[in-house]
């Protein structure tokens, strides 16, 4: 399997894509989350969201008490997972 196989579908090389199933639109939000049963307190996983899917993905993570923070993709750095 290629190293890129785990990346979200991307229409253009270098574009960050929304994590919503089948979307592929440009991501503008980063949803930082963790599952406290599996991850240490400081660990953050990242889902990317386009404007249309931000609320849906946020609600999904919030319902499970996983959502920790939402930031713009332009604010992401290596410390975010």
**Does the pLDDT of residue 8 top 90, yes or no?**
no
Q: What's the order of all strands across the beta sheet hosting 45-49?
A: 45-49, 29-33, 67-72
What's the pTM value of the predicted model, to 2 decimals? Answer: 0.78
Residue 57 · residue 21 · CB < 8 Å: no
- pLDDT interval class at 77 (50, 70, 90): confident
Q: Using an 8 Å Cβ cutoff, are 16 and 30 in contact?
A: no
Nearest-angstrom CA–CA distance, 67 and 38: 14
Given a cut of 80, whether residue 4 has pLDDT beyond it is no
d(CA 2, CA 59): 32
């Amino acid at each position: 399997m290629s190293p890129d196989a785990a990346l979200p579908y991307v229409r253009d090389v270098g574009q960050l894509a929304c994590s919503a199933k089948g979307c592929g639109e440009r991501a503008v939000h980063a949803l930082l989350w963790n599952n406290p049963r599996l991850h240490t307190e400081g660990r953050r996983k990242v889902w990317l969201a386009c404007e249309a899917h931000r609320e849906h993905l946020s609600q999904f993570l919030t319902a499970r008490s996983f959502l920790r923070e939402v930031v713009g993709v332009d604010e992401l750095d290596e410390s975010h997972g």
